[in-house]
């Protein structure tokens, strides 16, 4: 959020005089307490101020960038994961390419009949397979896919920032979100570079700090 002039004034008053009650802040601004209530609530929820019952408001001492960093570090995978785009291991390369373009994704997850992951297909995998005069309808994806255990995965409770680091370290476009199942690791979602980029851009736009 972009702070208004009044909200910035409130922060300065609390910074210089805290702990200070809402009534005293209102007096200094020559306003009614009820008028300031929304501003105080916003500043408290955003983390600029801390409120203690029967004591008053304190300045937290945190900058906008520090608050933004703290918020990012709280984000979990399950808050942002998308529906996984999957294919079966006997799907042809031709059909996999069609699926990738129709779904507008850069990674496909290959699963067995129990929806458990057994492989991953990237754009590069499919591009390499399509070079030459091969019949793409006759080549199953299990021949060209990256197989377990050489697959990076994440779980819904993982921190989004840690998944972003995995994407960077492994130079990949996306990872499956998995959970333990009797037959292996069931795919329940996906996180991609695009997902994370949108989250960070939207966060910055909303907070503007």
CATH number for the domain including 31?
A: 1.10.10.10
Place of tokens 């080549």: 139
For residue 122, the model assigns a pLDDT of: 93
pLDDT one-digit tens code per residue, 60-94: 887 666 666 667 778 899 999 999 999 999 999 99
Q: Give the span between the Cα atoms of 150 and 138, in whole angstroms.
A: 25
Instruction: Flag whether 70 is in a domain.
Output: no
CATH number for the domain including 113?
A: 3.10.580.10
Place of tokens 């101020």: 49
Tell whether 135 and 86 lie within a shared domain. Answer: yes
The pLDDT of 14-40, averaged and rounded, is: 91
Domain total of the chain: 2
Q: Give the span between the Cα atoms of 173 and 170, in whole angstroms.
A: 9
Neighbouring C-alpha atoms within 13 Å toward the C-beta of 118: 16
pLDDT one-digit tens code per residue, 134-193: 899 999 999 999 998 899 999 999 999 899 999 989 989 999 999 999 989 999 999 999
Tell whether 36 and 88 lie within a shared domain. Answer: no
Q: Of 34-48, 84-98, 193-207, give the range with the top mean pLDDT.
A: 84-98
Tell whether 56 and 151 lie within a shared domain. Answer: no
C-beta of residue 120 within 8 angstroms of C-beta of residue 107: yes
Q: Give the span between the Cα atoms of 25 and 6, in whole angstroms.
A: 11
Cβ neighbours of 35 (radius 10 Å) = 11
More confident residue, 197 or 200: 197
Instruction: Flag whether 69 is in a domain.
Output: no
- Per the structure, the complete domain to which residue 51 belongs is given by 5-61
Tell whether 92 and 138 lie within a shared domain. Answer: yes
- pLDDT at position 206 over 70: no
Instruction: Flag whether 175 is in a domain.
Output: yes
């Amino acid at each position: 959020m972009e702070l208004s002039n009044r909200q910035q004034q409130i922060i300065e008053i609390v910074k210089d005089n805290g702990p200070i009650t809402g009534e005293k802040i209102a007096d200094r601004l020559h306003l009614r307490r009820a008028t300031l209530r929304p501003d105080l609530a916003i500043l408290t929820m955003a983390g600029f101020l801390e409120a203690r019952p029967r004591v008053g408001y304190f300045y937290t001492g945190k900058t906008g960038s520090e608050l933004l960093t703290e918020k990012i570090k709280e984000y979990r995978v399950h808050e942002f994961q998308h529906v996984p785009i999957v294919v079966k291991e006997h799907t042809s390369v031709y059909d996999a390419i069609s699926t990738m373009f129709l779904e507008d994704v850069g990674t496909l997850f290959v699963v067995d009949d129990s929806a458990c992951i057994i492989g991953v297909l990237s754009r590069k995998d499919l591009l390499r397979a399509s070079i030459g005069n091969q019949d793409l309808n006759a080549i199953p994806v299990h021949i060209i896919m990256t197989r377990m255990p050489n697959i990076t995965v994440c779980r819904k409770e993982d921190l989004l920032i840690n998944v972003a680091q995995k994407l960077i370290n492994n130079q990949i476009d996306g990872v499956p979100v998995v959970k333990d199942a009797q037959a292996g690791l069931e795919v329940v979602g996906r996180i991609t570079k695009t997902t994370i980029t949108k989250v960070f851009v939207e966060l910055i736009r909303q907070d503007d700090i």
